[in-house]
Chain A
């Protein structure tokens, strides 16, 4: 069970999945990648459940790739109206670390260094928290 914090409100969300076998775990044993990919899965599911936004496009950046999201059912012909989904995962930190990470994302946006407007989502695996925020450049 994860707590979802969004627009000053808290809600609970249940996630169920099939436990991976040892054969599946072995090639995915990189801790960073597992955290990142787990964060992608949970944040995409949360964004769809809470905001009705689904991933529609993907574009590369220096360190990985960005997801772009738009309302479900939208025919996306360009990036002009879609939002960038900025995902971050915290494997062991408590709630304060998740909140701090979200604050960093908002600060980056405030300084106008990112291709925003965007939706920032941070998942804390240990504390079971997903924090979402809309971030706009100044």
Chain B
């Protein structure tokens, strides 16, 4: 069999495998991916350096098929062998290293004491100060907190809990369904989040497919980021939860100063949720519009300073700066996981002053 015949056979088997995976027939799909990988590896072995681009494409393809077959040991073995071939082009070396790193991460997860829900969410940030494999620490920590907050609220919503306005999620939510941060291959700056499988079988009040959490998280994010309230209302009918998701998604979106694009996707999904600077502008407008009550005709003022004090029970926050502290009221609707990470940080506040007191419209971190 020539290399081309081997590759053609691999193409057919990989297409069949994809169809099985799409129907969530994982075992059959993975077996077909393994067969496809065997044919592709055979094609790779028959190619020589006179066709460098073809060699690279087929090498990457064979390694990717082994990864999709979840044969991580063989993925490692093949990727290292392919990387040792002379004449391999630069793009193929880059992609093979990424596949190798994926295989190591997946294999480590299999050996860990915790079990992860199927599916993993990959988050990538690009542009601005972000470089290949590196990003400002405080920015990444903030974004991870926002993602974790959306995850927890998705879990709470799926459990049928009322919207939590204050305090951290219940310990049982944190422990039973803890999102994990897992290193992902660099490409701009990337990290992935996996959700630990609940240890209590009765954690969800009714039987829930674990994949539902990850799918719902992505749908919530997609609908919020697109400012598509009809789609969001279809899965989140409650007004308060919907407002919370919009708010958290807005805080996730870039301002364009530190980075300008975020992509969130399920591992294995070809299309991710794109969150850009325009997303932030659009959602900020929505938040301000929804916060505008009757008789709030005047435009809000923009205040800048450091968030020095928060007292949600007494309904105020205090902004410190070079001048006298400014107290802003009307913060009861603000969620703990939105405002908590802002304490002692520079913030931008939009507030109206109909009488003597400032009334909060919106608050966000200043980047």
Q: Interface residues, chain A, CB within 8 Å of chain B?
A: 27, 30-33, 35-36, 57-66, 68, 77-80, 88-93, 96-97, 100-101, 104, 111-116, 137
Count of A-B contacts with CB under 8 A?
100
Q: In the complex, what residues of B have CB within 8 A of residue A57's CB?
A: 7, 11
A96–B269 CA distance with the chains assembled, in angstroms:
23
- Closest beta carbon of chain A to B201's beta carbon, Å: 28
- Closest beta carbon of chain B to A37's beta carbon, Å: 9
User: Would you mind naming 23 contact pairs between A and B with Cβ atoms under 8 Å apart?
Assistant: A32-B266, A32-B269, A33-B270, A58-B11, A59-B57, A59-B61, A61-B60, A61-B61, A62-B102, A65-B14, A68-B57, A78-B54, A79-B53, A79-B54, A97-B274, A101-B274, A113-B91, A114-B91, A115-B56, A115-B57, A115-B91, A115-B95, A137-B91
Interface presence of B22 (CB below 8 A): yes
Q: In the complex, what residues of A have CB within 8 A of residue B276's CB?
A: 97, 100
Please determine whether B91 and A116 come into contact, CB atoms closer than 8 angstroms.
yes
A65–B7 CA distance with the chains assembled, in angstroms:
14
- Closest beta carbon of chain B to A98's beta carbon, Å: 11
A65–B17 CA distance with the chains assembled, in angstroms:
12
Q: In the complex, what residues of A have CB within 8 A of residue B65's CB?
A: 60
When C-beta atoms are compared, the residue in chain A nearest to B91 turns out to be A115
Determine chain B's interface SS by DSSP, over half rule.
helix
Q: Interface residues, chain B, CB within 8 Å of chain A?
A: 4, 7, 11, 14-15, 18, 22-23, 36, 40, 51, 53-54, 56-58, 60-61, 64-65, 67-68, 89-92, 94-95, 98-99, 102, 126, 132, 187, 218-219, 222, 226, 228, 261, 265-271, 274, 276, 278
A78–B269 CA distance with the chains assembled, in angstroms:
28
- Closest beta carbon of chain B to A122's beta carbon, Å: 11
Known contacts A78-B51, A113-B91, A113-B187: A32-B271 contact under CB 8 Å: yes
Q: In the complex, what residues of B have CB within 8 A of residue A64's CB?
A: 270
Please pick, from A59, A89, A92, the residue contacting B226 in the complex, using a CB distance under 8 A: A92
A111–B133 CA distance with the chains assembled, in angstroms:
14
Q: In the complex, what residues of B have CB within 8 A of residue A77's CB?
A: 4
- Closest beta carbon of chain B to A90's beta carbon, Å: 8
Known contacts A35-B271, A96-B278: A62-B99 contact under CB 8 Å: yes
- Give the one of B36, B58, B89 with max A CB within 10 A: B58
When C-beta atoms are compared, the residue in chain A nearest to B99 turns out to be A62
Given contacts A32-B218, A79-B53, 8 further A-B contacts (CB under 8 A): A32-B266, A59-B57, A61-B64, A68-B57, A88-B271, A93-B226, A101-B274, A137-B91
Q: In the complex, what residues of A have CB within 8 A of residue B132's CB?
A: 111
Q: In the complex, what residues of B have CB within 8 A of residue A113's CB?
A: 91, 94, 187
When C-beta atoms are compared, the residue in chain A nearest to B228 turns out to be A92
Please determine whether A60 and B68 come into contact, CB atoms closer than 8 angstroms.
yes
- Closest beta carbon of chain A to B342's beta carbon, Å: 29
